[in-house]
Amino acid sequence: MKKIAFLGLGIMGQNVTANLLKAGYDVTVYNRTPGKAGRLLAAGAKEAATAREAVAGADVIMIMVSDDAAVNAMVFGENGALAGAHAGQIAIDLTTIDPKTSLKECAAFNAKGIEFLDAPVFGSKAESRDAGLWIVIGGKKEVYESVLPIFKVISATTHYMGENGKGAAMKLVGNMIVAYQLHALGEAMTLAEKAGLNPRDVLGVFEVTDFKSPILSGVGDALCRRDFSPSFYLKLM
């Protein structure tokens, strides 16, 4: 079974790593902010002091950080992943980033003889915890197929979109749909409240119409419960 270096231990990264460990993978983790690996170490993970150290003995490098700047630091920094990576490895970036950043990353890994997949995910805390993410992938199809067993233990579905950069582009397309739905839901529920409608009755209509969606149902339910805790931050979109 492949050895994995997992870089980035935010909420999503921790959950994904936990699922890799449950599946029996040998995982070495690294996070730029220390103190995030506790429960993963208890589950069998090893922790490295730098990204460079983490990737040195890995077959597969997985990156899941917040944004383009974090990817640049994690990959291109002095003790970043590229400094310790070597030919024959496969790098997979699960981060939502600009396709241009993804292609820059791809070129840098390829120059060292490392295959690269851009594989951003749809889903939030619950989906990452329950191995229910939806992954969109760009890169060589044969490379995608070679790591499909890894994707299967962290996701509900995977979608091969084409050459490198296509996964990153698809994630932005999807994020636009999500943003519009959330904006429309907020406006609609405000209108409903001003009209004196019961919000649960409103959601009941949403559930049976042709514009129903898991986003409207899930976020709408949270609104009815007055639960405004974030499951995904706007700055990451």
- Dihedral sign, Cα of residue 45, residue 50, residue 54, residue 60: positive
Across 175-207, b (16+ Cβ under 10 Å) vs e yields beeeeebbeebeeebeebeeeeeebeebbeebe
Catalytic one among 171, 194, 212, 235?
171
Residue 89 has φ and ψ, to the nearest 5°, of -85, 170
Report residue 116 CA to chain centroid gap: 16
Exposed / middle / buried, residue 12 (Cβ in 10 Å: 0-12, 13-18, 19+): buried
Query: 167 - beta bridge partners?
Result: none
Angle at 156 between CA 44 and CA 23, to 5 degrees: 20
Query: What is the enclosing helix (H) or strand (E) of 161?
Result: strand 155-162
Angle at 44 between CA 43 and CA 46, to 5 degrees: 125
Q: Could you confirm whether 141 is annotated as catalytic?
A: no
Active site residue ranges: 171
